[in-house]
Structure 1
Amino acid sequence: MIITGDDLSGIQELKTFLCQQFEMKDIGHLSYFLGLEITYSTDGLYISQAKYAFELLSRAGLTDSMTVDTPVELNAHLTPSGGKPLSNPSLYRHLIGSLVYLTVTRPEISYAVH
């Protein structure tokens, strides 16, 4: 569970209450959680998924690939029966799900992913 806020005494009271009700431990400041990297500054919190994105590229075998603005061919006409079947549809589904999760911090890729 992540507990955050600007009322430190309120957070401490909540943690004390939760410790009385449940077995739990405080692991300190949040730095990495479910692929989200958290960085603190005087302006607030910054969330990034750089490590998650690099691991995703590694799984897909694309670490040495060139970047493009949009991975979709312009004016492409897609049909359900066009193309050839994927050699590993399970890997494809996994990569797409991971890309959808990556849109948490990279909303600009939402159109291409979906």
Structure 2
Amino acid sequence: MDLPPGCNLAHDKKNQVCNGLKQSHRAWFDRVTKSIKNFRYTQSNSNHTLFLKRDGGKITALIVYVDNMVVTGNDTREQQKLQKYLSHEFEMKDLGALKYFLRIEVARSKTSIFLSQMKYLMDLLTEIGMLGCKPTDIPIEMNQKLCEDIDRLPTNKEQYQHLVGRLIYLAHTRPDIAYVVSVVSQFMHLPSVSHRNAVDRILRYLKSTPEKGLMFSKHGNHEVVGFTDADWADSITDKHSTSCYFTFIGGNLVTWRSKK
């Protein structure tokens, strides 16, 4: 590794450490991947951070995010073996049943699991000074059509991009804002005051519904049901259409998308 510009070991203190290797994250993930594969787990082709192991009718799933891991499945014995193996390979700590992961809260009962981001939302509202804002019932005005307001008053671009980015992450457990977030995301390169007002309205809507999230329950079936819709050349800017879909498995919403 090369020393950063301006660093001279002859004059600097000996106990200094040079950090920030560009390939360190990749090297760490390669190490983890190799170890998990050695334990006969298969890496998913659609999500490389997901590893699966099937044994008859049972399945164990492990997902990795940097140095955090979540293990789930219906094979308790395999989960215990995996935990013992990983504890031997790495320095680990078992945090018990999943309650909070990547700012997503997890609550469970005997028949269901509920995912929400209430704390993440309230922290966001506090951060931008909108905790006391007036709530609204819908995330966007009826029949409102946003466009590129080149001749209108611009707004703080960096702050706009920051807020939309936070809303995109909130949409992981809030499919009710998927459409409107996809709309405001189209103007991140040149946002105007009207676009920022639309973002503020989403936040006011979220203030009125902070407890909403995703519920996964046992309904006794694995039926796949899908819904799709699209407008027709509804964009004022380029006359493109917006399409969307929702997919349910066993009565539980598992995928959704809204895209121009």
Match of residue 55 from structure 1: 123
Structure 2 length-normalised TM? 0.40
Pair 1:2–1:79, CA change in 2 (3 A) = same
Asked whether the equivalents of residues 37 and 47 of structure 1 are also in contact (C-alpha less than 8 Å), the reply is yes
Which residue in 2 is equivalent to 1:84? Answer: 153
Please say which of residues 73-82 and 55-64 is displaced more in the overlay.
73-82
Residue in structure 2 matched with residue 30 of structure 1 by the alignment: 98
Q: For residues 75 and 112 of structure 2, what CA distance do their matches in structure 1 show?
A: 14
- Specify the structure having the higher radius of gyration (Cα): 2
Q: Which runs of 4+ in 1 moved over 4 A?
A: none
In structure 2, do the counterparts of structure 1 residues 78 and 23 end up closer, same or farther at CA, with 3 Å as the change threshold? Answer: same
SS in 1 for 2:73: coil
One-letter amino acid matched to 1:5: G
Which amino acid in 2 is paired with 1:16?
Answer: K
Q: Hey, what does 1:71 align to over in structure 2? A: 140
Q: Which amino acid aligns with 1:6?
A: N
Indicate the structure whose relative CO is greater, using CA pairs within 8 Å and at least 6 residues apart: 1
**Within 1, Cα distance between the matches of 2:81 and 2:100?**
24
Deviations 1:10-62 (A, max 9, x none): 11001111112222111112211111001110113211111111112222322
**Which structure has the highest helix share of the two?**
1
Residues in 1 aligned to 2:117 and 2:85: alpha-carbon distance in whole angstroms: 32
Equivalent residue for 1:100?
168
CA root-mean-square deviation: 1.8
Shift of 1:77: 5.0
What number of residue pairs does the alignment pair up?
113
Q: Identity over aligned residues, as a percent?
A: 36
Normalised by the length of structure 1, the TM-score is 0.85
